[in-house]
Amino acid sequence: MFSRRKWMKVLGAGMSALDGWGQGPLRFPGKRPMLVQNDFPEDLETPVEYFDTWITPNDAFFVRQHLPRPKVDAGSWRLKVGGMVSNPLTLTLDDLKKMPPVKVPATLECAGNGRANYRPKVPGLQWSKGAIGNAEWRGVRMADLLKRAGAGAGAKYGNFNGADNGVAKTPDFIRSIPMRKLMHEATIVALEMNGAPLPEIHGFPARLVVPGWDGASWVKWVTEMDLSDEPSKGFFFATAYRYPKYSPVPGSAVKPEDMEVLEGMAVVSYFARPVHGSAAKKGSPLRLQGVAYAGENRVSRVEVSTDGGSKWIDAKLSPQNYPFAWRLFTFVGRRGYRVSHPLFEGHGFSGARAAGGMPVESVRVHV
């Protein structure tokens, strides 16, 4: 790995603008070494070599924040449920803890994961592959909260706000989620992540878990749910996180009316090992490893190719097979397999073929 100092030296003194201003060492309490997209607020990418366990530990989980991180006091924190309800609620953390708990394993992926690979470049965090992780979330069913609040028949959306606020005229981070998703039994208000109270950086004391949907829906530090017949008109729902309805020519402009909300995530797979461009010993057995995620669906199959795509072989999948959660895949070349080509290329296919699996990535290893 390139050390930062070395990198600075390569660029020379003329480009000292590389760093932030007057910042100390990059250290994020509770986190292993992470790839730093930004330090204030923290946007941290998980290095792919941590993708070797089905559960991504909290200390390795990626972080994405839009606005400066709020400091929430558990005692005075409240969750308000209002709008089109017959029984508006103001709940304390203890109130939520008294409701029937549910556990949901689910993968969280930022909609912008992989943006670093776009050509031409687009503005936004330059995630490579590590804006994704899988955790076991524990909390309260949204459907139970809606029942308790007496959600009205006319309510079509829950509009969610968190304790974070924009600076100056920055818009507040508000997201709208349609009723059909809120009523799903796996949609919860989570208080725990992998058996521990939600870490501050992941939304303490409560965040939404919206399985299969993009990270922007998983509102952190959630304080308000407003039921309405209309979605938010705010920037972070009405403008940002919109994607073209069709595949545009890369770099071309898309009209606002041709943009829609993302909702369920696309099928993806990411190689964790070997690292693209790394060296392998001639004749050594081949081991491919990575993760595959299919949004609201299950990953039924991952195939890899070691000959540039003409032949596809099933990779071995981790045993947990749930909707909303990724699966790890491994492929070890059969015994006696020789990596004999000067260039070896593997492609990942993920998801069910029936869903029209598409090649998503290739790694090259020099032997």
Partner 1 sequence: MKWLLGLGFALSLAAADPAVLEKGKAEEKRACVACHGTRIVHVQRLSRAQWERELTKMAGWGAPIRDREALLEYLLANYGDDKPVAPLPRSEDASNSKR
Is residue 18 close enough to count as binding ligand HEC by CB under 6 A?
Answer: no
Q: Three-state DSSP class for 314?
A: strand
Among 12, 29, 75, 250, interactor with partner 1 by CB under 8 A = 29
* Stretch touching partner 1 by CB under 8 A, among 10-18, 174-182, 213-221, 356-364: 10-18
Give the separation between CA 220 and CA 74, rounded to whole angstroms: 14
- Measured over the CA atoms of residue 135, residue 139, residue 144 and residue 149, the dihedral's sign is negative
Give the separation between CA 149 and CA 17, rounded to whole angstroms: 52
Q: Which is nearer to partner 1, 122 or 358 (CB)?
A: 122
Is residue 167 close enough to count as binding partner 1 by CB under 8 A?
Answer: yes
Q: How many angstroms separate the Cα of 32 from the Cα of each of 63, 135, 291, 328?
A: 12, 16, 20, 21
199 binds, among ligand HEC, partner 1, none (CB under 5 to 8 A by kind): none
In angstroms, give the least distance from the CB of 327 to partner 1. 22
Q: Is the peptide bond before 41 cis (omega within 30 degrees of 0)?
A: yes
SS (H, E, C) 181-248: HHCCCCCEEEEEECCEECCHHHCCCCEEECCCECHHHCCCCEEEEEEECCCCCCHHHHHCCEEECCCC
Q: Which is nearer to ligand HEC, 66 or 175 (CB)?
A: 66
Among 39, 52, 200, 345, interactor with partner 1 by CB under 8 A = 39
- Interface residues for partner 1 in 97-116 (CB under 8 A)? 116
CA angle 163, 166, 167 (to 5 degrees): 130
Among 76, 86, 94, 168, interactor with partner 1 by CB under 8 A = 168
- Interface residues for ligand HEC in 101-140 (CB under 6 A)? 123-124
The site for partner 1 (CB under 8 A) is made up of 1-2, 4, 7, 11, 15, 17-21, 23, 25-41, 43-45, 47, 57, 59, 67-68, 116, 120-123, 125-126, 166-171
